[in-house]
Chains A and B, each alone.
Chain A
């Protein structure tokens, strides 16, 4: 608090703050509350505006929501029979994300445990800086790596005809999400009070037992948050998957098939879709769908965490 005038303080046992200080504090409180609330406001506003662009197509007779969600036929510019089915795109997004997480979660959490519990302070500092550097690499550079280096590597090791596919996109996305998982995961492990570690050691636990039985359960929420941020990064990533997945509207039968993701589809087509056309609106609807997918992922995670807490 700002210092009051000294004579008031000298006379009264409890100093009365001047009116302006009280008002200023209230104003500051309101401002901070507003900043907090603005997160909700922004999310709601983004959702509203994306949906508003998409809404007119929803009421059109020739548009069918069932087709949009469950058909694999994506023919937005057909000369004879326009069809907007996004199932293949949704499956594309989910398959690439699932593969990325299967690779990134063990690596990311492993690295987080190593950084927080096992490595020497000097090594940790070097590693942390390097990992932060890794997360600063722009996605288009990752895409380029996927398109050139990774694609050739995949062709020569697996014998696949084309190197841009689910495997390529998954590996690139895993590399992009690992830094996020590592930094947040390490923070979560660091936040476990040292008294836990001391208690574990006092009971004669080995280092591995300490990690497995004490630290991982204690840091569960934080680690889950780390994984979720990784999923968010993978679902929302556009440029890298556009370049690395081969961009084929197709439900993948194997890791070596090309796919197209929802995000890549929007990026590739929105620029040329005439504003206000059905195609344009359906692309916004695809954006809404993406929004709902991430929302569902977050909500599920939230319930999982609450379930864990109740136990």
Chain B
């Protein structure tokens, strides 16, 4: 993972944990709720670290005797820790590799077991009156990345009705956004964005601006779609089928700007870990996925607890 570790929320969280620890020690005489007697170690993807922290904090309210310690570092770091048995749950925004599974079996005698807990998917938006229906990753890269050549809709073969100046208004996100990095990694192949795009501060703002601008294009979470915008079908390359950003397209990975978010455990989870995973896959846990800007797992494909 190339994402910048978000050290601030982590520090804040460990601060909270430390404060909680101090309080429970200082209180001493048992006025506090039951002290945490089960600790679940959770490590991995930086994409998921924020949602994982919210899970951990909310889960304290459900089960006060279970404490979940969350840390980031990247999917690979989390899986590596799981293989050594150092953590109970690894967060990963990619599938586990066969070599890693073998390693786990050799080290611990157990097979890693994955749970899909949500999806990270971006839709490419244009104004609803824009006749364009599909776009390839290559076209997106030529449009958005530094050194790219596309600046006008006519270069994409698009005639927007009632527009004289068909300069493409590129709508992007501020550079600290995870969405920005995801788009850079998956649509631009890690090339830099060309400067001069409107860098907005929220997923919703992007969709609003695109919805009010005939010549705009932007990317944002697919959950932010409104009636004023159109989501483009995205093709991996020219000649390959273009896929709509739908839950189905996200599930079978045919949509190129999406990936699943996983939890991995060693073997079938037991006890507190099982309860925690079940809770994450429950409506309450999935609500947090949705609130964090990701795509939740639809109820019919969730494993039954």
Contact = CB atoms under 8 A, between A and B. Distances in A.
Interface of A: 72-81, 88, 151-152, 155, 161-164, 242, 246-250, 258, 260, 268-269, 271-275
B interface majority secondary structure:
loop
Interface of B: 2, 4-8, 165, 167, 169, 174-177, 180-181, 184-185, 190-192, 195-201, 209, 212-216
B192 A273 contact: no
Nearest to A152: B212
Contact of A74 (B169, B181, B195): B195
Contact of A155 (B165, B185, B198, B212): B212
A247 B195 contact: no
Given A161-B169, A161-B216, A268-B201, A77 B176 contact: yes
Nearest to B172: A248
A274 B7 contact: yes
Contacts of B199: 247-249, 260, 268
Given A80-B191, A81-B192, A272-B177, 12 more contacts: A72-B195, A79-B184, A79-B192, A88-B195, A242-B201, A248-B196, A258-B198, A260-B199, A268-B199, A269-B174, A271-B176, A275-B7
Contacts of A81: 192
A292 B4 CA distance: 31
A269 B174 CA distance: 7
Contacts of A162: 169, 198, 209, 213, 216
B65 to A, nearest CB: 33
Nearest to A260: B199
A250 B176 contact: no
Contacts of B191: 80
Nearest to A248: B198
Contacts of A260: 199
Contacts of A269: 174-176
A76 B175 contact: yes
B130 to A, nearest CB: 12
Contacts of B4: 77, 274
B266 to A, nearest CB: 31
B198 A79 contact: no
Given A155-B212, A247-B201, A274-B7, A268 B165 contact: no
B127 to A, nearest CB: 10
Contacts of A250: 195-196
Contacts of B198: 162, 164, 246-248, 258
A273 B177 CA distance: 10
Contact of A272 (B6, B195, B200, B215): B6
